[in-house]
């Protein structure tokens, strides 16, 4: 597919390393213990919130980015 968009590349059709490894950029993540940047999020019921609001609300917070293939 010569004109693949970033969405086409991200929504790969099979779970093989050559299709998912490009997204595994852990070295670009903030180090453990460093403050994170705030950004908008939405609850499952579409209620707006933010990362910092959720981090301050609970002892542990899991934020899922991406999809389960």
Structure token pair of residue 44: 């499952």
Residue listed under structure tokens 């693949």: 4
Q: Which residue range forms the structural domain that includes residue 50?
A: 6-57
Do the domain assignments include residue 47?
A: yes
- For the segment 32-54, the average pLDDT, to the nearest whole number, is 88
Give the model's confidence band at 68: pLDDT under 50 very low, under 70 low, under 90 confident, else very high: low
Residue 1 lies in a domain: no
Examine residue 66 and state whether it is found in any structural domain, yes or no.
no
* Residue 22 maps to a domain: yes
pLDDT of residue 2: 58
List all residues 6 or more positions away from 47 whose beta carbon is below 8 Å from its beta carbon. none
If you average pLDDT over every residue of the chain, what do you get?
A: 81
Number of structural domains (the chain) is: 1
3-state DSSP assignment of residue 41 = strand
Give the model's pLDDT for residue 66: 64
- C-alpha 9/C-alpha 11 separation (Å) is 6
């Amino acid at each position: 597919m010569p004109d693949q968009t970033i969405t086409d590349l991200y929504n790969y059709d099979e779970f093989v390393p050559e299709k998912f490894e490009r997204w595994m950029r852990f070295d670009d993540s903030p180090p453990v213990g460093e403050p994170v940047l705030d950004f908008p999020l939405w609850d499952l019921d579409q209620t707006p919130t933010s990362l910092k609001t959720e981090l301050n609300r609970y002892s542990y917070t899991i934020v899922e980015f991406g999809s389960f293939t």
